[in-house]
Amino acid sequence: MAGTKKVAVIGFGNIGSGVVELLYQKGVAGLELARVVDIDLKKKRAVDLPASYLTTDWRQVVNDPEIDIVVELIGGIEPARSILLAAMQNGKDVVTANKRLLAQAGHRVFQLASTLNRRVGFRASFVGCHSLIHEFRQAGTAAKKFRRIYAVLNGTSNYILSTMTREAKGFEEALREAQAKGYAEADPSDDIDGIDTANKIRILLGLISNSYQAVAPFPVEGIRAITLQDIQYATELGYAVKLVGVIEPEEGVFNVAVHPSLVPQVSLLGSLQGAYNGIELEDEYGIVSGLVAPGAGTYPTADAVIKDLLDIAEGRALPMPGSAQELTLGSTEAVERRYYLRFSVVDQAGVLARITDIFWKYHISLAAVIQKEAVSREFVPLVMTTHLAKEGNLQAAIEKVDKLDVVKAKTKIIRILKADT
């Protein structure tokens, strides 16, 4: 331990105020708050800080040889990226909560860190998953192998899906409720379209593979198209609907996707309530473990920043991708899954036979069928779950089914994930 480390915090919003409160008001041994940067110095904050600490000029801080560690909490790509790169070039370690930056420009950040032997703390970009990052920390010495990771990583989506399930509300109504309560932003697209989950999955993939190479796009589907009807059918079948990020290594490639999924109601992921995050990991021996934690919030995020700062101050290694190895994604068509399918068919004899006939040709077999008595004569929901089938076959079969004259709307497809905890 080389004495007290001087810390500059760039970005004095909610998280920044939380970090300043812990560093300056509460005090953390080994860490000293030196400067705080924000473009708006007049705004009233939750924490009192003498004006002498404050500046609007991040360059001044990043060039200050007194500063040991720079904490970036402004979000977005620029100037956040320039701040991190310049700070490292000036010999400082950095800590960031910026998952969008790491997902999009992580290769630049980690490559520079690797070249200059600097440390990048990013627990706070991934609050719900501290412990998992710890588990992968040993990856440098003994690469942790695993069969699959299923992760619910977006609190907003989970809050909306939980509300729809518990209160029998439609998607739009649940979204408005989430916005009213501050769980969803005015523009909720990042959260409900799966982008935030995909960003976290990219960061996780970097950690797992120990590679900072950018990854090709992978399939990302959000929750806008999930209806109350789907949730009610899922409940009847014993499942909960969750937005899940999936990473499955397979013979040198990674199958990666983000999509709404049916998971057993009574399971770690199925029982996740409100804004919690959850991860389930199956290792190479088939041993499953999981963890649950709040996915966001001022205190958990500020706490994650402090933990990174302490690791740096006390000379502990931080988990970060350290190689330039290429990452190859697997072909989506070859992935085998079970499926929930909701058809919109006319209520007439022979419909089921025509669908199962197509399925038979594509080697798809049924696990369950729910057809209720029709309320109207022209539009009946017909719900099926399949046994394991190849995604390519399933998509081809549904394309055929959707062209049948008895099918009146696009068939809804939701993947069913097994869950062991």
Closest CA to 233 of 85, 90, 405, 372: 372
Tokens representing residue 84 in the block: 């991190």
Contact (CB, 8 A) for 344 and 54: no
Site residues, its own copies (CB under 8 A): 28-30, 130-132, 134-135, 138, 141-142, 265-268, 270-273, 276, 285, 287-294, 297, 299-300, 306-307, 310, 314, 420-421
Is 408 catalytic? The answer is no
Neighbours of 365 (CB within 10 A): 11
Kindly tell me which of 79 and 297 has the beta carbon lying closer to its own copies.
297
The one-letter amino acid code at 4 reads: T
Tokens representing residue 197 in the block: 């989950």
C-alpha to C-alpha distance for 364 and 341, rounded to whole angstroms: 12
Closest CA to 242 of 164, 334, 176: 164
Backbone angles phi, psi at 32, to 5 degrees: -130, 125
Closest contact distance (angstroms) between CB of 389 and its own copies is 26
Closest contact distance (angstroms) between CB of 276 and its own copies is 6
Kindly tell me which of 62 and 127 has the beta carbon lying closer to its own copies.
127
Contact (CB, 8 A) for 247 and 218: no
Catalytic residue among 5, 92, 99, 200: 200
C-alpha to C-alpha distance for 62 and 70, rounded to whole angstroms: 7
Kindly tell me which of 138 and 365 has the beta carbon lying closer to its own copies.
138
Q: CA dist 250 to 118, 221, 297, 389, Å?
A: 32, 22, 35, 17
- Which residues are registered as beta bridge partners of 246? 150, 257
For residues 227, 194, 134 and 120, what is the CA-based torsion angle, rounded to 10 degrees? -160
Closest contact distance (angstroms) between CB of 128 and its own copies is 8
The one-letter amino acid code at 308 reads: D
Kindly tell me which of 29 and 375 has the beta carbon lying closer to its own copies.
29
Kindly tell me which of 60 and 273 has the beta carbon lying closer to its own copies.
273
Kindly tell me which of 65 and 182 has the beta carbon lying closer to its own copies.
182
Q: Indicate which residues carry an active-site annotation.
A: 200
